[in-house]
Structure 1
Amino acid sequence: MGPMTIVVTGSSGLLGSALIRALTADGHQVRRLVRHPPAAPDEAFWNPDEGILDPAVFEGADAVVHLAGAGIGDKRWTESYKRTVLESRTKGTSAVAAALSGMGAPPRVLLSSSAVGFYGDTGDRAVDEKDRQGEGFLADVVGQWEGATARAEEAGVRVVRLRSGVVLSRRGGALAKVLPIFRMGLGAPLGTGRQYFSWISLHDWVDAVRFLLQKDEISGPVNVTSPEPVTNAEYTKALGEALNRTTLPIPTPAFALRLALGGFADEGVLIGQRVIPRVLLDHGHRFNEPDLPTALKSALNE
């Protein structure tokens, strides 16, 4: 497939900025939807909270990659912030889907951000895209988030829902938050440490999106995770070794995590999610950093 014109939301975030660098290097033209006054020729303003989105930005585009949404663990889960987490996803996605559905010739594909939170707590059980929605606040959020793509799908757009795991990068996200603690030798397993952790390196996440942009036969949910999920204890050990630091043998107890993190502790830290990227594997996608030590080394050397 030749060069494409691709519209990207969430372009200033960790994932969006890395993806845009790769797409530009591949020879694609990128248009960015931004919430501030446009400061460059490739930027266009939108404000989904107020329903401001000019469908003309999608004219002539081949694809849309929609990544915008408030951070899940950025703030304590007050009722107000939980509403922000939900609405920052559903409003933006609904705005994009509605704009595409009203076009005579919409882009061929919409890759819309989602998350493995869809599955809830899977414990030791491995799950893939055929499994049903789990329970809990995050599972409900993801269900509504994915449901907001319906109008684009009904209009004939190929919709891929990117159920991403935790993306590993020293530049942002979960890894960047814990690096100072681990560098001081204070890293420790969380809760029991036995809960599974579904992750993917930033490089592999970008490569998976590039792969999905070109695979016309793939639609629906796609788990964007490493094929080798690990337990929290295994992750703690691997990160300590990658940094050449000791880790504490005594886990951080669940009650302390709840005091520090509120509701996010139970749904973002203490639950297990053993997610397998079955669709990517079945379609021959190759992971360059499938094992955790390799991915951590790459992430720390970015």
Structure 2
Amino acid sequence: MRTAIVLGPDGGALPVVARLARYGLGTPQGTGRQWVSWLHVLDFCRAVEFLLSRPDLDGTFNFCAPTPLINQEFNGLLDHYYRPRLHLPQPRWLLEIGALLLRTETELILKSRKVVPQRLTQAGFAFQFPTCDLALADLVPQLP
């Protein structure tokens, strides 16, 4: 399993990026042109169950939604929900400070990852949340 960013209401990346979006940091990070591959937590669990039920399948599978999007679009979707009064820019130098404070790496934010689940969909897996707007419509109301 190669897993993209898993979006869920109570852990992982979504609560962190949603909190940042509330405070005006729902803007593109760096250039905003880097690709973001993601996956709704329910589709992650369903994909694991799917592969466990299919012992005939082996090898590497990408666990990600079939529709990656660029960072600018992802943050635009978050901005739609939180509509902060301010929109603060996020240049690389600021991200490096933030990553240090969050004990993470800026590469996780700035590296482009355009991944699709080709083998998973060819095996017959159907996503409940194939697009990020559908995933966020389900998840954002569940956030604290």
The normalised TM-score by structure 2 is 0.88
Distance in 2, Cα, partners of 1:286 & 1:168? 17
1:269 correspondence with 2:109: yes
For residue 60 of structure 2, give the secondary structure of its aligned residue in structure 1: strand
Unaligned stretches of 5+ residues in structure 1: 1-161
Q: Which amino acid aligns with 1:222?
A: F
Distance in 2, Cα, partners of 1:247 & 1:165? 31
RMSD after superposition:
1.8
Unaligned stretches of 5+ residues in structure 2: none
Percent identity, please: 35
Change (3 A) 1:244 1:176: closer
Aligned 8 A contact 1:236 1:247 in 2: no
Q: 2:92 aligns with which of 244, 249, 254?
A: 254
Q: Which amino acid aligns with 2:51?
A: L
C-alpha displacement at 1:169, in angstroms?
Answer: 1.3
Q: Which amino acid aligns with 2:43?
A: D
1:218 correspondence with 2:62: no
1:177-188 aligned within 5 A: 177-188=16-27
What number of residue pairs does the alignment pair up? Answer: 139
Whose strand fraction is larger, Structure 1's or Structure 2's? 1
Distance in 2, Cα, partners of 1:275 & 1:235? 15
Distance in 1, Cα, partners of 2:12 & 2:3? 13
Higher relative contact order (CA 8 A, sep 6+): 2
Q: Which residue of 2 aligns with 1:281?
A: 121
Distance in 1, Cα, partners of 2:36 & 2:85? 18
Q: Deviations over 1:88-140 (max 9, x none)?
A: xxxxxxxxxxxxxxxxxxxxxxxxxxxxxxxxxxxxxxxxxxxxxxxxxxxxx
Q: 2:48 aligns with which of 192, 205, 209?
A: 209
Change (3 A) 1:235 1:203: same
Distance in 2, Cα, partners of 1:259 & 1:181? 14
Q: Which residue of 1 aligns with 2:133?
A: 293
1:166 correspondence with 2:9: no
C-alpha displacement at 1:272, in angstroms?
Answer: 0.1
The normalised TM-score by structure 1 is 0.43
Aligned 8 A contact 1:198 1:226 in 2: yes
Change (3 A) 1:221 1:200: same
Q: Which amino acid aligns with 1:184?
A: Y
C-alpha displacement at 1:271, in angstroms?
Answer: 0.6
Aligned 8 A contact 1:197 1:273 in 2: yes
